[in-house]
Amino acid sequence: MVAIQIDSLTRRFGDVTAVDGLDLEVRRGEVYGFLGPNGAGKSTTINMLLGFTPPTSGTATVLGHDIVDDSLAIRQATGVLPEDFGMYDRLTARKHVQFAIDTKGATNDPDALLERVGLQEAADRKAGGFSTGMKQRVALAMALVGEPELLILDEPSSGLDPNGAREMRQIILEEVDRGATVFFSSHIMEQVEAICDRVGIMRDGQLVAEDTIDSLKDQFDAESRLVLTVDAVPDGTLSSLRSMASVSDAQVSGHDIVVSLRDSDQKAAIINAVEERGVKITDITSKEPSLEELFAALTTSDSGRLENTNSAEVNA
């Protein structure tokens, strides 16, 4: 069952190709994280899906509706949190939500929705005085109206404080539990890692990677790291580690030897090799690469492989 089906979708703005022959499929019931650096084409894609921006070529359907011929039906069936959400300064938070309820012909209680997004106290205040995060919460309450089958959220956590971001995550998971599909763009990798079933990574209008986070890490030879805290590092230790086939790099950082592994099953052999040099190991930790590193590798390097270990981060 498919919630979003995108085929060869392209959008040009003059000389700029914002979205370039995109093929993508979002299954019903999944949380799909749509990632990419600034200008990669995420918002343009979302705007095309919602009928706000017509495609230059290609096709797409959302919940079975064509994005060009049937965009009204898409917006009716979808909960949308757009990137630039314009609010009416003189209307209260409750009036905004009531407006969304009336537009959709839904029967939600606006106060219950405002309570869900943590804005019950501000229900009667005019939106003109709201902070960015408060506006974002109103927009989310509006997106939740009518228990939509699909939520399309463009940067849902932008402007939210850490508590707000956690609450947003919680709400997304609750929505998925009731059967909704969630398609959202984000720059916050922790958030993505915590809730996404699959991610798609955009770069220059094209999808450069798509899979579960675990599979992406495997596919791109993501290295895991072994951190050995030691009493001292005798001469030659690093070069002997670097000569091992399973090791791609070894560095010293303070009292740590940080070993990047090509083969994460070889940790014991590395520990033995260090101990054989008479080194006393006082602590051992291992660290899998983060989505953040994977993202950086896919969107900044030419090779699409992970770059060197960041020893400062290992020590943190």
Ligand X SMILES: Nc1ncnc2c1ncn2[C@@H]1O[C@H](COP(=O)(O)OP(=O)(O)OP(=O)(O)O)[C@@H](O)[C@H]1O
Per CB under 6 A, the list member of 9, 40, 182, 294 interacting with ligand X is: 40
Site string for ligand X, 265-294 (x = CB under 6 A): ------------------------------
Q: How far apart, in whole angstroms, are the C-alpha atoms of residue 163 and residue 109?
A: 24
Segment contacting ligand X by CB under 6 A, of 41-49, 110-118, 220-228, 261-269: 41-49
**Residue 42 interacts with ligand X (CB under 6 A): yes or no:** yes
Q: How far apart, in whole angstroms, are the C-alpha atoms of residue 303 and residue 72?
A: 42
Least Cβ distance, residue 14 to ligand X (angstroms)? 7
Q: Strand 224-230 and strand 256-261: pairing?
A: antiparallel
Q: How far apart, in whole angstroms, are the C-alpha atoms of residue 158 and residue 154?
A: 9
Q: How far apart, in whole angstroms, are the C-alpha atoms of residue 284 and residue 20?
A: 46
In terms of CB distance, is 118 or 205 closer to ligand X? 205
Per CB under 6 A, the list member of 21, 25, 28, 39 interacting with ligand X is: 39
**Residue 299 interacts with ligand X (CB under 6 A): yes or no:** no
* DSSP category for residue 71: H
Structure-block tokens of residue 79 = 């909960």
**Residue 36 interacts with ligand X (CB under 6 A): yes or no:** yes
Which residues within the stretch 1-20 sit at the binding site for ligand X (CB under 6 A)? 13, 16, 18
In terms of CB distance, is 45 or 248 closer to ligand X? 45
Instruction: Provide the phi-psi class of 34: left if phi over 0, else alpha when psi is between -120 and 50, else beta.
Output: beta
In terms of CB distance, is 44 or 309 closer to ligand X? 44
The H or E element containing residue 248 is strand 247-253
Least Cβ distance, residue 34 to ligand X (angstroms)? 9
Least Cβ distance, residue 136 to ligand X (angstroms)? 15
Segment contacting ligand X by CB under 6 A, of 39-47, 143-151, 157-165, 274-282: 39-47
Residue written as token pair 């919940």? 63
**Residue 159 interacts with ligand X (CB under 6 A): yes or no:** no
Structure-block tokens of residue 193 = 């890692």
Q: How many residues does the chain have?
A: 316
**Residue 201 interacts with ligand X (CB under 6 A): yes or no:** no
Structure-block tokens of residue 43 = 């918002």
Least Cβ distance, residue 38 to ligand X (angstroms)? 3
Q: How far apart, in whole angstroms, are the C-alpha atoms of residue 74 and residue 304?
A: 35
Interface with ligand X (CB under 6 A): 13, 16, 18, 36, 38-44
